[in-house]
């Protein structure tokens, strides 16, 4: 038992539980009237929180955390027994104290680290195309001068700063909790001596605009990673938009189609094949699509997709060919190919790396390219983390 090392999946579960317990604690504190709301959500009232990232590199810490949880889970009922059943008083107490003394509490010291009042805040923007496009405008107005148009950190004002802005078009955003990014954009950053390294934007930006600029940054970082490395190294969701499906008159968000695989056209006029394994989401008067993005959101949706695809935004550089995108049942963007082209295994640009070994034989690929891709995608579910938290 003591030699057991948790698998990555088990570590993920412990990470998720660690997050949930802390999140529940902040909600409980709020429900008891002990903390204030901020931007409509309960604050995290303490200066420290438990950071789980370390467990990814040292799974042994996850085991120690589980042992502490087990010690508490057994010791409390034992103490209860000791209180209510006189004959069990001394054995019960001794066993409870021994268990508590033996638990490896040191793990809490290792996992504790600084927290912010909005550490556990979650965005309510839904990663919608509208929010991403709004965030792009905010970024151009307020952030680009330091962080550069592509988020690379070499904006025109950057050389005069006490430190270079970090690259926002790679992994960094995925290493942070979104609530902590939100706080830093609103309240700025200081170095160890208390000198301002980045100004805060709480006066200039609404709370929603702050979430929007983070949505934009994430969309842009995904697209730039794809353009640079040919992969969505860190999974990104399909931007949300309102669609109309079949002849039903009511609107529904794309998010509500989660649970089904989607085949999405990145531009108008793309004919999507009707296939029972995927739900086709077209635009404009697309032929054969099951659902269509509504006219009022089509422009935002196309722009958001161009961002996550890393397609040039500059119209002078010419129109980029429309793409077809494959979305898995959990809502993650997984594969992309030029519209009208036959799918190939290489189009699966969001994968965990273990799928190569499981790729179908090439005859199967030739006979049914979409089926082969769907099988490869389903066999390789992604379990993304954000700031060490599965999400």
Nearest distance from C-beta of residue 158 to ligand HEC, angstroms: 7
Identify which of residues 48 and 256 has a Cβ nearer to ligand HEC in the complex.
48
CA distance readout (Å), 330 to 89, 188, 222, 391: 51, 34, 17, 11
Answer whether 193's CB lies under 8 Å from 208's CB.
no
List Cβ neighbours of 2 (8 Å cut-off, separation of 6 or more). Answer: none
- Which residues 6+ apart lie within 8 Å of 95 measured at CB? 75, 78
Closest separation between CB of residue 118 and ligand HEC, Å? 12
Q: How far is the CB of 119 from ligand HEC (least distance, A)?
A: 12
Q: Write down the least CB distance from residue 23 to ligand HEC, Å.
A: 20
For 335, the enclosing helix (H) or strand (E) is strand 333-338
CB of 288 to ligand HEC, least distance (A): 40
Q: Identify which of residues 145 and 391 has a Cβ nearer to ligand HEC in the complex.
A: 145
DSSP assignment of 356-380, as one string? GGGPPPHHHHHH-HHHHHHHHHHTS
Token code pair at residue 357: 């070994």
Binding interface with ligand HEC (CB under 6 A): 142-143, 145-147, 157, 161, 163, 165-166, 168, 176, 181, 184-185, 189, 191, 197-199, 201, 213
Neighbours of 61 (CB within 10 A): 21
Residue whose CB is less far from ligand HEC, 179 or 235: 179
Which C-beta is closer to ligand HEC: that of 176 or that of 187?
Answer: 176
Closest CB 389 distance from ligand HEC, rounded Å: 15
* Alpha helix stretches (DSSP H) within 230-361: 295-308
The least distance separating ligand HEC from the CB of residue 218, rounded to whole angstroms, comes to 10
Q: Which is nearer to ligand HEC, 117 or 331 (CB)?
A: 117
Cα separation, 104 vs 108, in Å, equals 9
Q: Which is nearer to ligand HEC, 166 or 371 (CB)?
A: 166
Residues 6+ apart with CB under 8 A from 260: 278, 279, 329
Nearest to 141 by CA among 155, 127, 160, 123: 155
Q: Could you say which DSSP state residue 257 is in?
A: G
8-state DSSP, 310: T
Beta carbon of residue 150, minimum distance to ligand HEC (angstroms, whole number): 14
The closest alpha carbon to 44, from 158, 149, 215, 183, belongs to: 183
Give the nearer residue to ligand HEC in terms of CB position, either 135 or 239: 135
Q: Nearer Cβ to ligand HEC, position 12 or 169? A: 169
What separation in angstroms does the CA of 305 have from each of 8, 141, 313? 32, 21, 11
Candidates 381, 379, 261; CA nearest to 329 is 261
**DSSP structural state of residue 154:** -
User: At closest approach, how far in Å is the CB of 153 from ligand HEC?
Assistant: 8
Choose between 116 and 226: whose C-beta lies nearer to ligand HEC.
Answer: 116
The answer to whether the beta carbons of residues 111 and 64 sit under 8 Å apart is no
Return d(Cα 302, Cα 266) in angstroms, integer. 6
Residue number, 92 or 223, with CB nearest to ligand HEC: 223
Query: What minimum distance in Å lies between the beta carbon of 280 and ligand HEC?
Result: 35
- Please give the C-alpha separations between residue 101 and each of 18, 43, 91, 105, 316, in angstroms, as whole numbers: 22, 33, 15, 9, 69
């Amino acid at each position: 038992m003591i030699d057991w090392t948790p698998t990555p999946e088990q570590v993920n579960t412990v990470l998720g539980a660690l997050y949930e317990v802390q999140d529940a604690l902040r909600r409980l504190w709020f429900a008891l009237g002990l903390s204030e709301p901020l931007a409509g959500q309960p604050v995290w009232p303490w200066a420290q929180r438990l950071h789980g990232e370390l467990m990814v590199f040292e799974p042994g810490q996850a085991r120690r955390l589980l042992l502490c949880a087990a010690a508490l889970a057994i010791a409390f009922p034992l103490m209860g027994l000791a209180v209510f059943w006189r004959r069990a008083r001394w054995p019960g107490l001794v066993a409870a104290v021994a268990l508590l003394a033996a638990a490896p509490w040191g793990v809490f010291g290792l996992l504790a680290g600084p927290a912010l009042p909005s550490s556990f805040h979650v965005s309510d923007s839904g990663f919608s195309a509208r929010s991403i496009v709004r965030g792009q405008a905010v970024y151009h107005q307020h952030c680009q001068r330091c962080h550069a148009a592509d988020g690379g950190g070499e904006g025109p004002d950057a050389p005069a700063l006490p430190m270079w802005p970090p690259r926002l078009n790679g992994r960094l955003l995925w290493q942070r909790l979104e609530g902590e990014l939100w706080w830093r954009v609103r309240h700025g950053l200081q170095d160890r001596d208390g000198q301002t390294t980045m100004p805060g934007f709480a006066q200039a930006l609404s709370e929603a605009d702050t979430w929007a600029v983070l949505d934009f940054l994430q969309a842009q970082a995904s697209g730039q990673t794809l353009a640079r490395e040919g992969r969505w190294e860190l999974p990104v969701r399909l931007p949300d938009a309102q669609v109309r499906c079949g002849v039903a008159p009511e609107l529904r968000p794309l998010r509500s189609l989660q649970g089904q695989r989607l085949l999405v056209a990145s531009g108008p006029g793309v004919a999507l094949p009707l296939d029972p394994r995927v739900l086709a989401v077209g635009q404009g008067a697309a032929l054969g699509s099951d659902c269509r993005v509504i006219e009022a959101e089509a422009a935002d949706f196309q722009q958001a997709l161009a961002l996550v695809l890393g397609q040039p935004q500059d119209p002078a550089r010419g129109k980029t060919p429309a793409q077809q995108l494959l979305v898995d049942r959990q809502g993650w963007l997984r594969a992309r190919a030029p519209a009208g082209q036959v799918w190939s295994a290489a189009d699966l640009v969001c994968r965990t790396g273990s799928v190569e070994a499981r790729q179908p034989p090439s005859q199967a690929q030739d006979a049914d390219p979409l089926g082969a891709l769907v099988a490869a995608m389903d066999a390789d579910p992604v379990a993304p983390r954000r700031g060490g938290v599965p999400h």
